[in-house]
Amino acid sequence: MKKLINDPADVVSEALQGMAAAHPDRLRVDLENRIVYRKDAPRPGKVGLISGGGSGHEPMHGGFVGLGMLDAACAGEVFTSPVPDQMMAATKAVDAGAGVLHIVKNYTGDVMNFEMAAELAAADAGTEVLSVVTNDDVAVQDSLYTAGRRGVGVTVLLEKIVGAAAEEGRPLQEVADLAKRVNDNGRSMGMALTSCTVPAAGKPTFELAENEMEVGIGIHGEPGRQRLPLAPARDVAAMLVDPVVSDLPYQQGDSVIAFVNGMGGTPLLELYLMYNEVAQLLDRAGITVARSLVGNYITSLEMAGCSVTLLKVDDDLVRLWDAPVNTPGLRWGA
């Protein structure tokens, strides 16, 4: 196992220490509870936004804490949900009287622990909490970690759009309704060229031959729809775009945010090449790309591969997407 680590047991704690040291202007980090906070949270009158999940998907979620996105993110062990006590502490800390929205990816541990945290925060401090669960992955209905579809790339787009709405001072129910609308209008699918190695395991999660790829992979190394011979990028793009487009379905005349995400081990050279193939497929389908995002934003450690996310948008969603954001992982207009 070749990794830039000290002890596998200390990876998450030491990474959070590094995040605190790198971004003291934007973040404060509770190392004991493994919570990343926006430096100026809580902000009076603003709905607090919290997400979280297992580590190993960076920059999600801690890298999306800051102006225009999250107020706090809870970090679990690698590919392991945070515990309810973390989430409760974060919920209480960012509540400035306007309530708190939990943004939860559809993984069994995340959903259960966020539900418990909401109940505890309400009982302990009277905090009003609403939740939205993202479940945008069209690849499989159930997996090792979920009942129902997995939450993947739409989570990033949702955190940005809903973060902008909360920044405007919209009330909790309106922010939650917006989050549900974003989730309902987004779909994703991913693929892998290699596995990844969880530090505590010390060996790859699964094996792929040099001439194989896994289509429909999950972000924790869950198996996908099928294992196929390696194919050119144009064919891979079609394998991802076609199921996404047909699922909502997206139709001629729709406008979308098109998001090509790297899984951690794929260079931008290849991601932009993939985006070009995706853009051509969308153009032929009569779907307009209103905005795009290309890069490593929701990763699986060092896994090579990518995912495609499409979010159907209107003028209001585009305006919220364009609003200023200043986080370690996403920044413009600020």
Tens-digit pLDDT profile for residues 96-140:
999 999 999 999 999 999 999 999 999 999 999 999 999 999 998
**CATH code of the region 11-185:** 3.40.50.10440
DSSP label of 300: -
Q: What does the pLDDT read at residue 140? A: 81
Token couple for 213:
């790829």
- Which of 179, 145, 205, 174 minimizes the C-alpha distance to 69? 179
Domain boundaries, the chain: 11-185, 186-332
Burial of residue 123 (number of CB atoms within 10 Å: 0-12, 13-18, 19+):
exposed
Residue whose structure tokens are 């919220």: 320
Please name the residue that has the structure tokens 């076609």: 242
Residues of the chain with pLDDT under 70: 143-146
Distance between CA 160 and CA 51 in Å, rounded? 12
The residues assigned a catalytic role are 57, 220
* Model pTM score: 0.96
How confident is the model at residue 334, as a pLDDT?
84
Q: Quote the pLDDT of residue 276.
A: 98
Q: What is the pLDDT of residue 145?
A: 65
Nearest Cα to Cα of residue 260 among 164, 189, 184, 333: 189
Q: Which CATH superfamily groups domain 186-332?
A: Dihydroxyacetone kinase; domain 2 (3.30.1180.20)
